[in-house]
Amino acid sequence: MAKILFEVTENQLETGMRGFPVGYCVTSRVDPEKGLFYKEHSIKELALLPPEQVIYLLMEGKLDDVNYNAFCEKLKNRSKLDSKVKDYIYELPVQSHPMKLLISSLTILGAFSGKDNYQEDCIDVIAKIPEVVAIIINHHANWGKTPESKPELGYMENFTHMLNIPGSPNKDLLAKVFKIFNNLHFDHGGGNLSVFVGKAVASGLEDMYGSLAAAMCALAGPRHGKANQDCLQFVQDVLAKVGQNATGDDIENLIRDRVVNNELIFGFGHAVLRKEDPRATIFYEMGQKHFSHHPLIKIALLLRERGVKVLSEIEKIQNPYPNVDAISGSILSAAGFDFPEYFTVLFGLSRIVGIARQIVYERCEARGGKGTPIIRPKYLFKNG
């Protein structure tokens, strides 16, 4: 194996460790040109598969084999929550952001379900997190008691069933959107903030649930998991300014005005990608197929077209293309889940899968099974 040698210069300090290699990720990678891969499968190959199959790929490295059905049964058998866990979640204060409820619920779940075994707790938390999140949303939104879990329906079908969403949305279509959203967000390499924080906390031998709670604290911020909520707000603001009958020229003029005024164009650019995010492409295609007449989707599609045109003219912008956040919130809204305050919780529901699996690798498989040492980067003393 080749040695990686480099000299650290002062301008590389206080930059969020961006680009510094610190370990291995065995679940996923992001190619600058081709986008996200789970193992060796592109996200485009995986987007429409049952979430259980994609989870199995992340856990076992295979899409399907003789153990797949047994794995699905294990998820079903472990999915239901202890009644005391439900009672405690319903006691959490609804005045706080729902991500606070998710963070607290993970520690509650660990108190009753934790086995102090990273592999077992990984499967348990993946199995139980859909019911946890359904209860959090129903409780926070005052939608009433959560229906009894029916894991036989399927991983995301059951989650959709447990949500008491007002307005009678098409739950079959909504379940399809939730399934795709989940598949697209399960994992995203080894160095994004939430997974890094989760692994760092686990490096001190904190259990799976405490490590995931810390990871969700990282996910909750507007620079990370709250981005799709902010992007939806941007699309809504644009719609309010230009109206439902806006043309591409109307959108282009608005974008140019924002650029001149140094205002953000939300949903464009990516830390790694240099092409349109394939996850965004998948959602754009879904929007065109199922929701082409929805006002938000119309605006999102026009922003995609004219945003790239305008931003490509700016020399300093390396990636003028949309990322998944540019369209995911609009898709959720168009499908009947028009409750952006819960978008980050949905992100957490999905991302917990990849973080839990990466924690298992670092604690139980890395360095021949010894696990990685405690995270301890070097900081240089600076006087004054």
- State the DSSP string of 233-246: HHHHHHHHHH-TT-
- pLDDT given at position 201: 98
CA separation for the pair 343, 330 (Å, rounded): 11
- pLDDT given at position 342: 96
Task: Please state, in angstroms and as integers, the Cα–Cα distance from residue 225 to each residue in 128, 222, 340, 345, 348, following that order.
Answer: 21, 6, 12, 9, 8
- pLDDT given at position 5: 62
Task: Please state, in angstroms and as integers, the Cα–Cα distance from residue 204 to each residue in 6, 97, 189, 362, following that order.
Answer: 28, 28, 21, 11
Q: Which one of 121, 124, 207, 325 is the catalytic residue?
A: 325
Q: Which one of 224, 230, 294, 338 is the catalytic residue?
A: 224
325 is catalytic: yes
Task: Please state, in angstroms and as integers, the Cα–Cα distance from residue 285 to each residue in 203, 294, 321, following that order.
Answer: 41, 14, 16
Write b or e for each residue in 361-370: b if 16 or more Cβ atoms lie within 10 A of its Cβ, otherwise e. Answer: bbbebbeeee
Contacts of 354 (CB under 8 A, 6+ apart): 27, 28, 58, 186, 187, 188, 195
CA separation for the pair 221, 288 (Å, rounded): 30
Q: Torsion angle of alpha carbons 264, 270, 271, 274, nearest 10°?
A: -130
Question: How far is residue 46 CA from its own chain's centroid?
Answer: 15
Report the 10 Å Cβ neighbour count for 13. 11
161 is catalytic: no
Using one digit for the tens of pLDDT, what is the confidence trace for 15-44? 888 878 899 999 999 999 999 999 999 999
As a whole number, the mean pLDDT across the chain is 94
Helix (H, G, I), strand (E, B) or coil at 28: strand
The answer, yes or no, to whether residue 4 has pLDDT greater than 70, is: no
Using one digit for the tens of pLDDT, what is the confidence trace for 105-115? 999 999 999 99
Alpha helices in 51-192 (DSSP H): 51-60, 68-77, 83-90, 98-113, 118-140, 155-162, 171-185
Domains annotated for the chain, with CATH where assigned, are: 28-222+350-369 (1.10.580.10), 227-334 (1.10.230.10)
224 is catalytic: yes
Question: Taking a C-beta distance cutoff of 8 angstroms, is the pair 310, 274 a contact?
Answer: no
Helix (H, G, I), strand (E, B) or coil at 318: coil
Using one digit for the tens of pLDDT, what is the confidence trace for 329-374? 999 999 999 999 999 999 999 999 999 999 999 999 999 999 999 9
Alpha helices in 227-361 (DSSP H): 227-242, 248-260, 278-290, 295-311, 325-334, 343-360
| Closest C-alpha to 77, from 88, 69, 85 | 69
Question: Taking a C-beta distance cutoff of 8 angstroms, is the pair 109, 209 a contact?
Answer: yes
Two structure tokens written together for 299: 């605006």
The answer, yes or no, to whether residue 46 has pLDDT greater than 90, is: yes
Type of residue at 96: S
Indicate the DSSP class of residue 322. B
Q: Model's pTM, two decimal places?
A: 0.94
- pLDDT given at position 179: 98
Partner residues linked to 36 by β-bridges: 30
CA separation for the pair 118, 217 (Å, rounded): 20
Two structure tokens written together for 201: 């906390």
CA separation for the pair 16, 193 (Å, rounded): 10
Poorest-confidence range of 24-33, 125-134, 148-157, 267-276? 267-276
Question: Taking a C-beta distance cutoff of 8 angstroms, is the pair 76, 152 a contact?
Answer: yes
Computed on alpha carbons and rounded to an integer, the radius of gyration of the chain in Å comes to: 21
Over residues 246-273, the mean pLDDT reads 93
